[in-house]
């Protein structure tokens, strides 16, 4: 089911790089830092679009009524996305760097194929799907970004790039519509995880 880009869900928590449990003080502090960084008049060369996204996120998340409505939609959207992306059992041996990176590429490849115009996946979703805390994902996300296999979308989520798709296909990260993570350790050799 393709979502219309004009009505695509925008993850304000990802834009502000915050947990959905963030309190008002944290939201305000992060907003001030990001607004200063991205303001069009910033001496470090701001970014008008990012400033607008950060400001929109701030307006919604600091208004208790708007935030309650947004959180209901946020929960619904994330439940839907987790159901679509999460049809695999536990990922075994997450300490293996290459396996984690292949898992990330596989999930982002699935998201791009599901909806090419709205391919983003949030870090929260990756944590849940891979069952790996964000702190452990940081290295892998950095590496995949440096290789230009993934990138941040305009709404703050992560998406696979064309180079990332090539890498996923080359290494068999996406196998016949099944996620890399659908296999257990005994199936890893068939999925290129040796």
CATH number, domain with residue 29: 1.10.287.110
pTM over 0.75: no
Give domain status of residue 3, yes or no: no
Residue range of the domain that includes 71: 8-79
Tell me the average pLDDT across 114-131.
86
With beta carbons less than 8 A apart as the criterion, state whether 181 and 126 touch. Answer: no
- pLDDT score, position 83: 66
Give domain status of residue 2, yes or no: no
Count of domains observed in the chain = 2
Last residue of one domain, picked from the residues 79, 97, 112: 79
Determine how β-strand 174-175 pairs with β-strand 178-179.
antiparallel
Residues 60 and 93 reside in one and the same domain: no
Give domain status of residue 193, yes or no: no
User: How confident is residue 29, by pLDDT bands cut at 50, 70 and 90?
Assistant: very high
Beta-sheet strands, E only, within the chain: 150-152, 158-160, 174-175, 178-179
Last residue of one domain, picked from the residues 60, 79, 98: 79
Give domain status of residue 151, yes or no: yes
């Amino acid at each position: 089911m393709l979502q219309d880009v004009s009505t695509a869900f925008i993850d304000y928590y990802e834009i502000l790089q915050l947990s959905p449990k963030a309190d008002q003080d944290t939201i305000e502090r992060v907003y001030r830092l990001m607004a200063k960084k991205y303001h069009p008049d910033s001496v470090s060369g701001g970014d008008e679009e990012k400033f607008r996204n950060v400001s929109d996120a701030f307006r919604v998340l600091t208004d208790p009524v708007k935030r309650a409505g947004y959180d209901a939609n946020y929960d619904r959207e994330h439940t839907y996305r987790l159901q679509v992306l999460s049809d695999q059992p536990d990922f075994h041996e997450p300490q293996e760097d290459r396996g984690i990176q292949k898992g990330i590429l596989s999930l982002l490849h699935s998201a791009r194929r599901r909806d090419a115009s709205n391919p983003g996946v949030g870090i929260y979703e990756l944590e849940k799907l891979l069952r790996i805390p964000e702190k452990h994902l940081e290295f892998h996300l950095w590496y995949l970004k440096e290789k230009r296999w993934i990138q941040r979308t305009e709404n703050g989520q992560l998406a696979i790039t064309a180079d990332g798709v090539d890498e996923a296909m080359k290494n068999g990260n996406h196998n016949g519509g099944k996620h890399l993570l659908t296999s257990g350790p005994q199936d890893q050799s068939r999925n290129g995880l040796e």
